[in-house]
Copies of this chain bind each other. A is one copy, B any other.
């Protein structure tokens, strides 16, 4: 198969963490100048700001606020921490509403001191607990399966099949799934599971980057599209074949790219987006 190149940046979204050295005002100005049309806002960038005004600032730059990143981290063997996680997710829903975005990405969490099954149950219960607030705010919670190398502390949901199962089981218009090529590229069921969530309306977000060979850090060594071994174009073609018309969100954590001039890095992102995504 030969998936088409992207010809413009009308569906290009960049996560604020991708250009971590910039604050949100710098990111907005520079993204907009580069033709980026969507932004996913990481919560740390909102610290000390009026969130409504920040949302307006982003819209004034003609940026769609694709999602707020991130809620989740529900599981804990400690019930006080579990309750605190629920509170924090309610807070995130309020922030998303003020910001003016209709989606929160959930990094679901895991607690290595309890069985994965218990963590999975707590994730499901946590989503159910905050679902009324999400619905009232018009905010969709997108369950993002994370790579199995994060099953110890970051997510007990590690395949798209698991995320699809959970979203279908909860069965709410305010719960969906987020597909990130970095976490899922290796999975022989990926095409099938993308079709599945596409068909039932649960495919809510699509994140892109690349898996560098070799990868030298568990968290912060992601690559630009085309720089690694993930068939990003092919996976995008599967996503688009479902009728998905949302943004392609560039989410790169990279100690080495964060050290570069971020204007140059953003130029590389736009180039890689058009040629390799």
A residues sitting closer than 8 Å to B (CB atoms) are: 112-113, 115-116, 120, 147-149, 151-153, 158-159, 162, 185-188, 211, 213-216, 218, 228-229, 231
* A151 and B186 contact, CB distance less than 8 A: yes
Can you name the residue of chain B whose Cβ is closest to the Cβ of A212?
B152
The secondary-structure label for the interface of chain A is: loop
A3: min CB distance to chain B, Å = 13
Q: Do A188 and B214 contact each other (CB < 8 Å), given the known contacts A147-B149, A149-B148, A149-B149?
A: no
Measured between alpha carbons, how far is A197 from B149 in the docked complex, in Å?
Answer: 24
Q: A148-B148, A148-B187, A149-B215 are in contact. List 6 more A-B contacts (CB 8 A).
A: A120-B188, A148-B149, A151-B186, A152-B211, A158-B187, A214-B218
Of B113, B216, B229, the residue contacting A152 (CB under 8 A) is: B229
Please name 28 pairs of A and B residues whose Cβ atoms are closer than 8 Å in the assembled complex, sorted by A: A112-B213, A112-B228, A112-B229, A113-B229, A116-B186, A116-B188, A120-B188, A147-B148, A147-B149, A148-B148, A148-B149, A148-B186, A148-B187, A149-B149, A151-B185, A151-B186, A152-B211, A152-B213, A152-B214, A152-B228, A152-B229, A153-B213, A153-B214, A159-B188, A162-B188, A215-B218, A216-B218, A218-B218
A161: min CB distance to chain B, Å = 8
Measured between alpha carbons, how far is A185 from B110 in the docked complex, in Å?
Answer: 14
A231: min CB distance to chain B, Å = 6
A42: min CB distance to chain B, Å = 22
Measured between alpha carbons, how far is A148 from B183 in the docked complex, in Å?
Answer: 9
Of B115, B153, B231, the residue contacting A231 (CB under 8 A) is: B115
Chain B positions within 8 Å of A215 at CB level: 149, 152, 218
Chain B positions within 8 Å of A185 at CB level: 151
Measured between alpha carbons, how far is A148 from B147 in the docked complex, in Å?
Answer: 8
A140: min CB distance to chain B, Å = 24
Measured between alpha carbons, how far is A159 from B162 in the docked complex, in Å?
Answer: 14
Chain B positions within 8 Å of A115 at CB level: 231
Chain B positions within 8 Å of A153 at CB level: 213-214
Can you name the residue of chain B whose Cβ is closest to the Cβ of A150?
B186
Measured between alpha carbons, how far is A215 from B215 in the docked complex, in Å?
Answer: 14
Can you name the residue of chain B whose Cβ is closest to the Cβ of A184?
B148
